[in-house]
Structure 1
């Protein structure tokens, strides 16, 4: 009859189960076979206790490896997004710089040309050119008319004294014509001032076009030119310059009547 082995408190607290070797009745030895069986049972129990811990460790390692891989993938995504943001920032900085430079050029034009004393001076110079030209033209026409009248009077039978007075009058009219022709010098000086202002404006406009890529880049945004003039205004193109196209020459006009 086997004897039930008593379990101590330490064994109960540790949760260990120790396979007790039953004792044979009367203290007889159960034999080596029994001891081997009990040893194998204890080994199996130890392996069964260690297997869940091993499986848990393997599962934790797999989860950690998967999370590390996902973290690396997320970091690569963030890194690519940061690079794109940096490129975008560079482009935005370039646009901001171009806008700032354009604003400075516009401010210079606005202050010194379009809305300043310079533009008022240009208007005054052009007005003076028109007024001076009209005055000189009127003076020349009056002198020529007086010369024509004096020449007609000389053709008649006049006294020597009248001839002398008519000759002096003609000379005075000729001098008056020479004086009136001085308007050309004044007109040239005034127009030169206007041209300097126009060159100043052109320089800053070219600078603004260079800021945005040059003339070739601006041409792609130029709208088509549409002539909205009607009637006679559509036919008036002003005097022709050398090399201008679209104007009829005198030979072309003569050929229409031949």
Structure 2
């Protein structure tokens, strides 16, 4: 399928090149007495055509990996894949293939992604990635005591904020780690069957989210309390137990590395 897409693009390039050449030839025939630099229709160079094809193939390959991220991620969860690593796994070298005049085998890239992440492989990796983000975000370790109260289990994440009018907003350097933490929690929530919690977590746009000092955001089974330089996550006991089981199953090796 992907090979045919590339072949049709190349065919379109050839047809466009022929059409431009015909238009350029007609203009030059009609305006024989004009200086060459005044002609309006330019003829495409081979370098420009090759560059356009390369950009198209890169974009198409990126779309294939994005398709894998969507299709093989668990419901409500996030699967992180590195484009370069997936190209290497599939034995794909776009630039070298194009230099040799070969059509890049993007069908092989999709087959490699299917074989690696299909049949639950993508979900397992997404859960492992989520568990690792949560261990890192909350500073969890095997010998660290988790704060428990009569009503909640409390985890804290350093999240620096900055003033935004009369409110606060996540600071620039904390935006990406905080977004990853929330995405990891959403992935866990989906695995735990807490679909509404996953939806609500995924709906928080960290880059534009504003809050007040000590404001509380109540979610299903989880309250978030916002301070100047940290966020406090108050899990219900039931949800916290599921979270610890999740981390134990999918993040045990990562926690062991931290000991």
TM over 0.5: no
Alignment TM-score, normalising by the size of structure 1 = 0.21
Decide which structure has greater helix share. Answer: 1
Alignment TM-score, normalising by the size of structure 2 = 0.21
